[in-house]
């Protein structure tokens, strides 16, 4: 979840579905809640991964029509991204 979705209804729906919302409350809220600060920081890592995956044109434009081919190229892009981090 993002701060844009930190409303009571969205937060309650996430809890009912079994998710753990880790979005911090807005400073203007009357009822503040506790959240896992470390997990909220890790959320940024996932967002950056999606940004890097969008650099692979075949992924964001979905050139592959078969799910198996798309998943294969997605795995390839993840491996390439991981190897790029090692160099």
Q: What is the pLDDT of residue 1?
A: 63
Q: What spatial distance separates the first Cα and last Cα of the chain, rounded to whole Å?
A: 32
What pLDDT sits at residue 16?
93
Q: What is the Cβ-side half-sphere exposure of residue 86, based on CA atoms within 13 angstroms?
A: 6
- The per-residue pLDDT for 33 is 79
* 17-70 pLDDT, tens digit each: 998 888 888 777 888 878 888 888 888 888 888 888 888 887 777 777 888 988
31 Cβ contact partners less than 8 Å away, ≥ 6 residues apart: 25
Q: Are 25 and 32 in contact, with CB atoms under 8 Å apart? A: yes
């Amino acid at each position: 979840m993002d701060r844009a979705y930190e409303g009571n209804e969205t937060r309650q729906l996430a809890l009912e579905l079994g998710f753990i919302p880790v979005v911090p409350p807005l400073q203007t809220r009357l009822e503040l809640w506790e959240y896992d600060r470390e997990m909220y920081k890790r959320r940024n890592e996932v967002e950056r991964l999606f940004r890097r995956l969008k650099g692979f044109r075949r992924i964001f434009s979905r050139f592959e029509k078969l799910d198996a081919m798309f998943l294969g190229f997605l795995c390839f892009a993840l491996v390439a991204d991981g190897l790029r981090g090692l160099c």
